[in-house]
Amino acid sequence: CIYPMYDFAHPLSDAIEKITHSLCTLEFENNRDIYDWLVDTLEVPDPPRQTEFARLNMTYTVMSKRKLLQLVERKLVAGWDDPRLPTLSGLRRRGFTPAAIRDFCDRIGVAKANSTVDVTLLEHCQREDLNVRVPRVLCVLRPVKVVIENYPEDQVEELDAPFYPRDVPKEGSRTVPFSRVLYIERDDFAEVPPKGFHRLSPGREVRLRYAYIIRCESVVKDAAGEVIEIRCTYDPATRGGAAADGRKVPGTLHWVSAAHAVPVEVRIYDRLFQVERPDLEEAPFEELLNPQSLETLTGSLLEPAAADPALGDWLQFERQGYFFRDPVDSTPERLVFNRTVALRDSWAPEAQKAAAPAAASPAASASRAPKPPKETEAKAPEPLTAEELEQLAHL
């Protein structure tokens, strides 16, 4: 529509279409007098009423359709269903559930003043929803080979493993094959371990989840000096992970059997932008995008029982996070999983680290002071009035 015709078309179209409540964002607040005057003057039956509310803003993303369209048209994202976008199709493809989104909306409520909600609240709602109903399985994202030298060459054991921890009121289990050659996470080994490293390193023991205690004896390296194989021994008396002599082994690692693991593609999604409020920045989108917002891992290995579609589309990869079978690209022959959320918020420590130097230096603090809010933005959210809440209750 062409202004000012829009101000007349808006209430008329609502009346013609039998709209009872026209819900608008705050920029339409000044238009409400015209809206009410027109429907009252024309004496339309059951006149609609306009109610304004604050738009939802979340950290590390943009909610404006105009700005989202720019991201799509410039091919900065894969499309409207890109799992990094806050669109419903994007959230659905990433694995966010309707229950989690409803819980998020219930928690933030409806406000009359603009404010910004931390995206970690949405992620928290999703963790709470999936935690009580999703099976736990083993998946090695970035594998490195482990050979257990004192384990028989052709022997394979089937180890019992529950799908759910004790604090989840669900039952179910599967068997996990254990053999001489395994894979563990590359990050779970350090040839020269830093202080506080409780995973595998030369001469150190770790516990394999649901299996045995192993000890690193030596490593094999390639021509570039990178570790490509870890040679270990195992303690046959520690099946299930407990040592008969009572010795304490601090680290527990997930693993898969090399001969039985299923190759999968895993997509690690993260924040789309590097800054909390990209909509307030003057720099182009290209300069604000997070280069680590998507990492595609094509060499990941999944335990065989987890490939069964009967388990459902959502899985928790132990020690990694919650993952969702991609509804577009995943096939029985080529499994693709999208990370919905990590097990914990990895951005909180980074934000604290970044804030520490600024807090230590008054000059730096002054130079990095946040921009004042725009005039159209309030500093604190205000609840809807009782009359407005009553109108919403009749929708």
pLDDT tens-digit readout, 95-154: 999 999 999 999 999 888 888 999 999 999 999 999 999 999 999 999 999 999 999 999
The mean predicted confidence, pLDDT, of the chain is 89
Domains of the chain: 5-53 (3.40.50.620), 57-137+263-299+311-354 (1.10.1160.10), 139-254 (2.40.240.10)
Nearest-angstrom CA–CA distance, 65 and 251: 47
More confident position, 212 or 386:
212
Percent of the chain at pLDDT > 90 equals 77
More confident position, 132 or 386:
132
* Nearest alpha-carbon partner for 65 in 48, 80, 50, 78: 80
Q: What is the pLDDT of residue 258?
A: 98
Q: What is the pLDDT of residue 385?
A: 62
Nearest-angstrom CA–CA distance, 145 and 276: 39
| Mean predicted confidence (pLDDT) in 368-392 | 48
Would you call 90 exposed, middle or buried from its count of C-beta atoms within 10 A (0-12, 13-18, 19+)? buried
Q: Where are the alpha helices (DSSP H) in 249-377?
A: 285-288, 347-360, 362-367
Cα 34 to the center of its chain, rounded Å: 44
Which residue do the tokens 């395994």 mark?
Answer: 182
pLDDT at residue 305 greater than cutoff 80: yes
One-character DSSP codes across 317-350: ETTTEEEEE-TTT--SSSEEEEEEEESS-SHHHH
φ, ψ of residue 118 to 5 degrees: the values are -70, 130
Q: What is the pLDDT of residue 368?
A: 38
Q: What is the pLDDT of residue 371?
A: 43
| Mean predicted confidence (pLDDT) in 53-63 | 94
Which residue do the tokens 């609240």 mark?
Answer: 121
pLDDT tens-digit readout, 272-298: 999 999 999 999 888 999 999 999 999
Beta strand spans in the chain (E) = 21-25, 49-53, 56-58, 115-117, 136-137, 139-140, 143-148, 157-162, 173-178, 181-185, 205-208, 213-221, 227-235, 252-253, 256-257, 262-269, 294-302, 314-317, 321-325, 335-342
pLDDT tens-digit readout, 182-212: 999 999 999 999 999 999 999 999 999 999 9
* Nearest alpha-carbon partner for 312 in 302, 323, 304, 320: 323
pLDDT tens-digit readout, 25-50: 998 999 999 999 999 999 989 999 99
**Could you tell me the pTM of the whole model?**
0.82
More confident position, 52 or 385:
52
| Mean predicted confidence (pLDDT) in 327-332 | 96
Sheet bearing 181-185, strands edge to edge: 252-253, 205-208, 213-221, 227-235, 143-148, 181-185, 256-257
Band of residue 391 on the pLDDT scale cut at 50, 70, 90: low
Decide if 385 contacts 111 (C-beta within 8 A).
Answer: no
Q: What is the pLDDT of residue 245?
A: 84
Nearest-angstrom CA–CA distance, 262 and 12: 60
Q: What is the pLDDT of residue 359?
A: 46
Band of residue 241 on the pLDDT scale cut at 50, 70, 90: confident
Band of residue 243 on the pLDDT scale cut at 50, 70, 90: confident
Band of residue 367 on the pLDDT scale cut at 50, 70, 90: very low
Q: What is the pLDDT of residue 344?
A: 85
Q: What is the pLDDT of residue 270?
A: 96
From residue 283, alpha-carbon distances to 121, 215, 292, 358, 367 in Å are 27, 52, 19, 22, 18
Q: What is the pLDDT of residue 185?
A: 98
Cα 81 to the center of its chain, rounded Å: 15
Q: How many residues does the chain have?
A: 395
* Partners of 269 in the β-ladder: 294
Q: What is the pLDDT of residue 217?
A: 98
Cα 348 to the center of its chain, rounded Å: 14
